[in-house]
Structures are given as C-alpha cells and as structure tokens.
Structure 1
Amino acid sequence: MNVWRTIGHPQPGGIVAICDHASNQVPPGYDLGVPQAVLDDHMGWDIGAAGVTEHLAADHAIPGFLACVSRLVIDLHREEDSAGLIPEVSDGFAIRGNKSGSGNPDRAKRIATLHRPYHAALAEWLDAARPALILAIHSFTPRLASAGAERPWHVGLLYNQDARAARHAIELFGAEDGMMVGDNEPYSGLLLNATQNRHAEAHGRPYCAIELRNDLIRDTAGRRDWAARIAHVAGEVARRLG
C-alpha cells in the first residue's frame, strides 16, 4: 500500500496542494479495533478534502500531494514526538488497536514505514515544484461529539508564524456575502501546523492552510464549488505576494 499519491504535474512558480488527511484506509496488518463507521466519519479522515484536492488538480491545474493512510493509524500532520501522532482516542471514541500492548506494530515502526517516507517524498516533491504558494486542504466537522458547541465557520485559515498568505485569503474569502471565515479557527495554527511548519515556514514558502466545514463538501457539487472558490482566492493571493 502506498503512503501517498500525486495528481498533476507541478510547474515552478505555480500553486500546489497538500492533503494530509485524504484517506481513511488502514494498511494491511493493522487492526485498529474500531468499526468502519468510525473510519468513514471525521475521526478517520478529513471528509471531502481529497475530493476538493482532486478538483483543484483536474479543474484548475493545481497539482496535489495526498496521503493514502488514515490518521487513526498515524497522523501525518503531527510531529514525530507528538502525543497525538498515534491517537488512542478520537472525538470520544477509543481506538483500541492503538493502546499499548494491543499487538499492533509499534510507534517506531509506524514512524519508519509510514510517517518518514511520506514526509521525505513530500519534501522531494516540493523541492522539485518550487511553488509560489502551497495550499493545505483540510476539513472539520460542524460539531464534535465530545464537545457540543456548533462550529459556524464555512472556512478557516490556519497559520503559525507566517501569516502572509493567510491574511490575504481571510480578506478574500470574507468578501463573499454571508461567508463566515475563521482566523485560526476552528483550530489554531499556533498549535496544529506541523506539515506547514516543516515544509513551508521552514523554507520561507508562503502557504494557506485551509479548513472547510465538511457538510459543505460531502457531495460532488460542493467539492467542485469549493475547489473553484479556493483556486480563485489562491490565484489572487499568489498575485499579491508576487
């Protein structure tokens, strides 16, 4: 089983997209001890994010780099030493196969065979692409089962130290009538920005880490619509930064 896949061919100075949580697949040899319904829900992957990334590539010539393994096996958008790298609980659901002594391959093996190859391949892909702007495509659930507050944002922009692209994107998305845009919401990029910290900020590459509310991208029409919105905003952001 491959850990990643790519769509399209980057052009130097262009825009590219990364989707760390594109898949809910569990590699052979792993038993997470959860029903398929958990893998299919937001705990197992970012619902709709892969489809949006695919439309960015197919409809807007924005190539994509996508993960092929569920974040319940190993979260590729976490640092190797993160406590949440191999989650034992996700939104109140116990991931029994990730408990110590469960019989699954250990943390070191998952890092060596899944996490490190993914990030090594991503680094090589980005070095060859030399992008002007990186898009990181994620989605979030409108309401967590473990915390009942509604999450009203349609889209959120996350960032850590480098807010150059995010500031423009927040303004551009916010210009649409009725659009509620999160500024480091529903998560803070100061805490959850691992892939962009490593592959964008560390290299001075501008990026937009984009969180889409997943009820808006559960069908093909929604995914196509949001890909078009993102492509338009990304093009303007790249123009402003250039």
Structure 2
Amino acid sequence: MQLPPNMVAALAAEAAEVLRPAAASPLLLLCEHAGARVPAPWGGLGLPPALLDTHYAYDPGVDGLTRVLSARLEAPAVLARYSRIFLDYNRFPEDWDHIRPDLGGIPVPANLRISAAERTLRRAIAATPLDQAIRPLLPGRRAVVSVHSFTPVMAGDHRAVDIGVLWRQDSGFVRAVLAALHGRAAGLGLRIGDNAPYDWRRVVAYSLQAHALDRGLPCFYLEVNNALFSDPATSETIATLIADVLAAALSALPDAGREPR
C-alpha cells in the first residue's frame, strides 16, 4: 500500500494519546494496547468486525484503568489508539507478532505476505508516533508502569491470577508493589501473580525494555484479569487498589537526584 505523505502524517497524529504531559509525578504510565482502531485505509484487515472487538485486538478495560490511575496519581500517561493486530507496539520490529499473520490460527488477510515497504509504512503510522510521544516524558521520571489486561482462560487453562506484576529486573519498586498488593489484596479475595500469568524473563516485550530498562529505570507490566472489568463497582475497587499501591511504592523509588541513563 502507498499513501500520500499528508495522509500518513494525519494517521500518525492519531496513534498516541498523551494525558497530563506536564505532570510532575515520578511515574510514567504506558498503555500500548488501549485502542482497537485500524487506520481507515486498511479497513478491517480482512477480518470479521466481531474479532476487532476482542482481546485479540486490544486489552479490554485498560483504557479506563489507565485514565483513572493517571488522574489519581497525577501522572503522565501515553495510550496507543491503534489495534495491536495492525501493529503491536510492545513487540520488537523483528518479532513475528509485531504484525501478526494470525489470531490463534485465524488468518489475518491484510497481514499476510507484507512487504518491507508496508512494514515501514505501518511503523511510521503506529510505532514511531508512540516513541515520539514517550521519549519527551522520560526525563525526571523514576519508574515506568505499563498497564495491560489478560483473559481468564487461555488455551483451556484457567489462570489463577487476578492482578499480575511482570518484571525482568528486580528492584525495590517492584518489591514494594508486590508487598503492598499482597498485603491489601487478601482482604479483597484477590490473587496476586509474581511474574504471572506471564514471566517477563521468558517473553519478549519492547516498550519497557526500550523506555525503562535501557535507561536504568525500575519498571513492570501490570496485568489485570479482564473479568474484573465486568462491572463498574469491581472496576472501581481494582483502580483504587492499584492507585493506592503505586502511591505507597513511591518511597521505594531511587533518589530523585540520581539521573537515569
């Protein structure tokens, strides 16, 4: 596919939404799978519309959760608006699922046999704008949290986790978050996962590697069971819990005078 430069620029301008860019919080929030949109020139990628409203396309519940956390913590946040089926920002360009050809065995027609030129075009529309939105927000931050959700059942496996903290490098910040979650969640009947339902040490993930670990910033992927977003009251309970835990963990962050790389 070829698009005129003005259309590419217009589509790229809609790739990222930035909340509270001037906020002074030491935390930066990312939400790479917030949106389910596909840029108009690609239609529905050849898929039935119903598939674009499933976990394949985005992480249900995380858009609202990220907005609540940003407001309560007065922290900046960057949300991706395009579907991960179009391009998954949280994968490296060379990863097979950066532009995935199938959804659990269901082919994605528009993602089959993609040329190098189209890969470059999609990155210009859906990846580069996110890099450009995130990088100016990093100076002065002392931790980064990426907000995600997961399905209760995967390939027939019922996941015994409600809220997961996925980390690759141990840090006082991660330990403080896990301790606070364990301390507060028991009374709510919530199950906390330490590198579960995924172990980040065993999987590939781009955004926190590029924007946090490579800068020496403590970070983790927050994973919430998407069944917990099924009603407003439970969603509010989860948002309050996570906001309180993150606020309490601020004391475990590195000294403000220590500059990240």
Q: Same fold (TM over 0.5)?
A: yes
- The yes-or-no answer on 1:151 pairing with 2:141 is no
Residue 220 (structure 1) aligns with: 232
Paired residues of 2:72 and 2:243 also in contact (CA < 8 A): no
Whole-angstrom CA distance in 2 between matches of 1:24 and 1:13 = 28
Mark the runs of 5 or more structure 2 residues left unpaired by the alignment: 1-10, 255-261
Structure 2 residue aligned with 1:167, among 163, 175, 189? 175
Q: Which secondary structure does the structure 2 equivalent of 1:157 belong to? A: strand
What are the equivalent positions in structure 2 for 1:1-242 lying under 5 Å apart? Answer: 1=11, 2-31=14-43, 32-100=45-113, 106-127=118-139, 130-144=140-154, 147-175=155-183, 176-177=185-186, 178-190=189-201, 191-242=203-254
Distance in 1, Cα, partners of 2:170 & 2:143: 12
Partner of 2:152: helix, strand, or coil?
Answer: coil
Q: CA deviation at 1:13?
A: 4.8
Secondary structure of the residue aligned to 2:193 is strand
TM (normalized to structure 1)? 0.90
Inter-CA distance 161–14: structure 2 relative to 1 (3 Å threshold): closer
Report the Cα distance in structure 2 between the residues aligned to 1:164 and 1:193, rounded to whole angstroms: 21
Deviation at 1:163, TM superposition (A): 4.0
Q: CA deviation at 1:219?
A: 3.7
Alignment partners' CA distance in 2, 1:16 and 1:30? 31
Q: Distance in 1 between matches of 2:64 and 2:49?
A: 20
Change (3 A) 1:54 1:218: farther
The one-letter code sitting in structure 1 at the alignment partner of 2:191 is M
Distance 2:252 2:80 in 1: 30
Task: State which drifts further: 67-76 or 107-116.
Answer: 107-116
Cα distance per residue 1:166-202 (max 9 Å; x no partner)? 2222221112213211121112212233111110111
Higher radius of gyration, 1 or 2: 2
Give the secondary-structure state (helix, strand or coil) at the position aligned to 1:29: helix
What CA distance in whole angstroms lies between the structure 2 residues aligned with 1:122 and 1:30? 26
Alignment deviations for residues 9-66 of structure 1 (CA, whole Å, 9 cap, x no partner):
4434522211000000011111311122211110000100011001112334233210
In 1: Cα distance, 2:231 partner to 2:22 partner: 27
Which range is displaced more, 211-220 or 54-63?
54-63
Which sits farther off after the overlay, 43-52 or 192-201?
A: 192-201
Contact 1:169 1:208 in 2 (8 A): no
CA deviation string 1:57-95 (max 9, x = no partner): 233423321001000000010111111100112233322
What's the offset of the Cα at 1:162?
4.2
Distance 1:173 1:203, change over 3 A: same
Aligned residue for 1:137, secondary structure, equals strand
Aligned residue in 1 for 2:7: none
**Which amino acid counterpart does residue 44 of structure 1 have in structure 2?**
A
**TM-score, structure 2 as length reference:** 0.83
Instruction: Give the number of aligned pairs.
Output: 237
Contact 2:25 2:74 in 1 (8 A): no
Contact 1:52 1:227 in 2 (8 A): yes
- Give, as a single letter, the amino acid of the residue that structure 2 aligns with 1:135: V
User: Within 1, Cα distance between the matches of 2:253 and 2:126?
Assistant: 34
**CA contact 1:55–1:223 (8 Å) conserved in 2:** no
Report the aligned-residue RMSD.
2.1
Q: Share of identical aligned residues, percent?
A: 28
